[in-house]
Structure 1
Amino acid sequence: MTPRVEETDVLISGCGPVGALTANFLGLYGVRTLIVERLLAPHGQPRAITCDDEALRIYQAAGLSEPMDAHMYTVPEVQLTGANGELFARFVIQGLDFGYGFPALRFFSQPYVEDVLRQGLQRFPHVELRFGQSVEAYSQSPQGISATVRDVCDGSERTVRARYLLACDGGRSTLRRLAGIDMVGSTYDEQMLAISLLLPESPPPLCRMVCDPHRHVFVARCSGNEMRVDCTVRHDEKAEDLLRPERIREFIAPFVDPDRATVLRAAAYVFNRRMASRWRDGRLFLLGDAAHLMPPVLGQGLCSGLRDAHNLSWKLASVIHGHADEPLLDTYEQERRPHVETMLEASVNMGRLVLTGSRPLAFVRDSVFRALDRIPRVQRFIRNLEFKPRPFITRGFMLGGSRGHAQAPEGMYFPQPRVGAPGGRVVRLDELLGPGFAVLVHPDTREASLRAAQVLADSIGARCVRIIPPRSGQAQPGEVVDVEGKLDAWFDEHRVDIAVLRPDRYLFGAVRGSHLAWLSAALRGWIHGPLRGVEPAALESVPA
Structure 2
Amino acid sequence: MTPSVQETDVLIVGCGPVGALTANLLGQYGVRTLVLERSLTQHNQPRAITCDDEALRIYQSVGLADVLDAHMYTCPEVELVGATGEVFARLGVGSTDFGFGYPALRFFSQPFVERVLREGLARFASVTLRLGQQVEAYTQDENGASVTVRDVRDGSESTVRARYVLACDGGRSTLRQLAGIDMVGSTYDEGMVAISLLLPHEPPAVSRMVCDPYRHVFVARCAGNELRVEVMIREDEKPEDMVQPERVRAFIAPYVDPDTVTILRAATYVFNRRVAARWRDGRLFLLGDAAHLMPPVLGQGLCSGLRDGANIAWKLAAVLQGHAEPSLLDSYEEERRPHAEAMLEASVNMGRLVLTGSRPVAFMRDRLVRALDRIPRVHRFIRDLEFKPRPVILRGFLMGGGRSHRLSPEGTYFPQPRVALTDGAPVLLDDVLGPGFAVIVRHGVPDASARAAQVLADSLGATCVRLVPPRKTPAQAGEVTDLGGTLATWFHQHDVDIAVLRPDRYLFGAVRSSHLSWLSVALRQRIQGPLRSTTPPARAGASVG
| TM, length-normalised to structure 1 | 0.99
In the alignment, residue 224 of structure 1 is paired with which amino acid? G
Map of 1:437 onto structure 2: 437
Aligned to 1:131: 131
Shift of 1:532: 2.4
Contact 1:80 / 1:89 at 8 angstroms: preserved in 2? Answer: yes
* Equivalent residue runs for 1:110-129 within 5 Å: 110-129=110-129
What residue number does 2:171 align with?
171
Letter in 1 for 2:145: I
**Aligned residue type for 2:179:** A
> How far apart, CA to CA, are the structure 1 residues paired with 2:151 and 2:538?
29
Q: Does 1:515 align with 2:518?
A: no
SS of residue matched to 2:530: coil
CA contact (8 A) 1:314 1:503 kept: yes
Matched residue of 1:471: which SS?
A: coil
| Cα deviation digits, residues 44-77 of structure 1 (max 9, x gap) | 0000000110001000011100110111000000
Does residue 84 in structure 1 map to residue 84 in structure 2? Answer: yes
The Cα of 1:136 is off from its aligned counterpart by: 1.2
Partner of 2:39: 39
Against the structure 1 CA distance between its residues 375 and 71, is the aligned structure 2 distance closer, same or farther, given a 3 Å change threshold? same
Mapped partners of 2:408, 2:231: distance in 1: 43
Map of 2:540 onto structure 1: 539
2:455 and 2:169 mapped to 1: Cα distance? 42
For the Cα contact (< 8 Å) 1:115–1:542, is it kept in 2? no
Q: Which runs of no fewer than 5 residues in structure 2 stay unpaired? A: none
Amino acid at match of 1:405: H
How far apart in 1 are the matches of 2:492 and 2:351?
A: 39
Distance 1:164 1:297 in 2: 33
Distance 1:224 1:41 in 2: 23
Secondary structure of the 1:114 match is helix
- 1:23-34 aligned at under 5 Å gives the runs 23-34=23-34
Pair 1:378-2:378 in alignment: yes
Match of 2:13 in 1: 13
Name the aligned partner's letter for residue 126 of structure 1.
Answer: S
Instruction: Give 3-state SS (helix, strand or coil) of 1:374's partner.
Output: coil
- Whether contact under 8 Å (1:124, 1:537) holds in the other structure is no
Deviation at 1:20, TM superposition (A): 0.2
3-state DSSP of counterpart to 2:347: helix
TM-superposed CA distance for 1:540, in Å, is 4.8
- Letter aligned with residue 244 of structure 2: R
Are the aligned partners of 2:67 and 2:540 in contact in 1 as well (CA < 8 Å)? no
Letter aligned with residue 299 of structure 2: G
Which whole-Å CA distance do the structure 1 matches of 2:477 and 2:64 have between them? 25
* AA partner of residue 262 (structure 2): T
- Contact 1:67/1:542, CA 8 A, preserved across alignment: no
The residue correspondences of 1:204-219 to structure 2 (distance < 5 A) are 204-219=204-219
**3-state SS of 1:119 partner:** helix
1:539 is displaced (CA, Å) by 2.5
Cα deviation, residue 126, structure 1: 1.2
The CA deviation at 1:458 is 0.2
AA in 2 matched with 1:377: R
Change (3 A) 1:221 1:422: same
Structure 2 equivalent of residue 484 of structure 1 = 484
Q: Please say if residues 63 and 539 of structure 2, whose CA atoms lie closer than 8 Å, have aligned partners that are also in contact.
A: no
What SS does the corresponding residue of 1:8 show, helix, strand or coil?
A: strand
Cross-structure match for 2:362: 362
Q: Following the alignment from structure 1 to structure 2, what is the Cα–Cα distance between the partners of residues 296 and 539?
A: 29
Q: Equivalents in 2 of 1:41, 1:422: separation in Å?
A: 46
* Alignment partners' CA distance in 2, 1:473 and 1:77: 40
Structure 1 regions of 5+ residues with no counterpart? none
| Alpha-carbon distance change, 89 to 313 in structure 1, aligned in 2, over 3 angstroms | same
1:98 is aligned with what amino acid? F
Instruction: Name the structure 1 match of 2:339.
Output: 339
After superposition, the Cα gap between the structure-2 partners of 1:459 and 1:211, relative to the gap in structure 1 and judged at 3 Å, is same
Give the paired residue count.
Answer: 544
**What are the Cα deviations for residues 437-490 of structure 1, in whole angstroms up to 9, with x where unaligned?**
000000111111111100000001110000001126311221100010000000
For the 8 Å contact 1:498–1:510, the answer to whether it is kept is yes
**d(CA) in 2 for partners of 1:34 and 1:218?**
38
